[in-house]
Amino acid sequence: MNRSAHPPISSAAPSLAATPTVTSVSPTSGSTAGGTAVTVTGTGFTGATAVRFGATHAASFVVNSDTQITATSPVGSGTVQVTVTTPSGTSYEFVTYTYVTAPVPSLTSVSPTSGPASGGTVVMLSGSGFSGATAVRFGGVSAAFTVNSSAQITATAPPGSGTVAVSVSTPGGTSNGVSFTYVSASVPVLTSVSPNSGPAVGGTTVTLTGTGLASTTAVRFGVTPAISFTVVSDTHLVADIPAGAAGPVDVTVTSPGGTSTPVVYIRVVSPNI
């Protein structure tokens, strides 16, 4: 009697992926307001479906690899266990994350305390509790800023008008306001240049006197920019004359308020041979 051949039947059970494990989190603490980026390290994270801080789901998370997840902490309090869930189960290691209350920032000074209405002034903010700053505002307008330390921020004033309150916001709250005044830039005025003559080859250093010179952006002899210039005060600046043809030339100063009337001139003459 013929017997039909049958393949052997395997009794081995299908392999199951291991339950994920959590070995560490970094940082181990953050604001009660949430929003801290936390790196979770462990194993078996591929296919993760949830990351929890205590019983609360992370605000968001990204599986970087089978051994690392970046999660954003949710709002919370106290010390909680961080767990990762995959289709294979939930980690059980007691790796903790502690919520801390962030201090409300305090602003003590801004420097300078004024700038042109067009904005662009670089302002140094001093105080405390600036770490993790989320916004710097001049009145209700947000400014670009860099947190230098927990006690110092560098911000660029946006356009504005009048006197406004500068404030700093962090996860701990919003600081008190410190005044910053926007000033309308006036057209600079030149009244004299000394000395009023020099060699055509240029290089003579002259002192320009007038008003509204503090925010000077350019000094020109005719259409040619000065070799260099330095603002001494709102009424004085020094400039190095560029080379040019012999004869009179108009000297002008430009600032955010405009360009001065070329009422002052310097006669550029060739040196005596």
Give the chain's domain count: 3
Query: What's the pLDDT score for residue 265?
Result: 65
> Is the domain of 37 the same as that of 92?
yes
Weakly modelled stretches of the chain, pLDDT under 50: 1-2, 4, 9-15, 273
Q: Answer yes or no: is 149 within a domain.
A: yes
- pLDDT score recorded for residue 271: 54
Verify that 195 and 133 share a domain, yes or no: no
Last residue of a domain, one of 127, 160, 183: 183
Would 14 be classed as within a structural domain?
no
pLDDT digit string (tens) for 27-54? 898 888 888 889 999 999 999 999 999 9
- Beta pairing class for 96-100 and 79-86: antiparallel
**Residue 85 domain boundaries:** 21-100
> pLDDT at position 214, please?
83
d(CA 55, CA 206): 73
Give the E-state strand segments of 73-216 in sequence order: 79-86, 89-90, 96-100, 106-111, 114-116, 122-128, 135-138, 141-142, 144-149, 152-156, 163-170, 173-174, 178-183, 189-194, 197-199, 205-211
- Is residue 194, in this structure, part of any structural domain at all? yes
Please report whether residue 3 resides in a domain. no
Tell which of 129, 158, 183 closes a domain. 183
Q: Is residue 7 assigned to a domain?
A: no
The answer on 128 and 94 residing in a single domain is: no
In CATH, what number is assigned to the domain containing residue 54?
2.60.40.10
Does residue 245 lie in a domain region?
yes
pLDDT at 264: 64
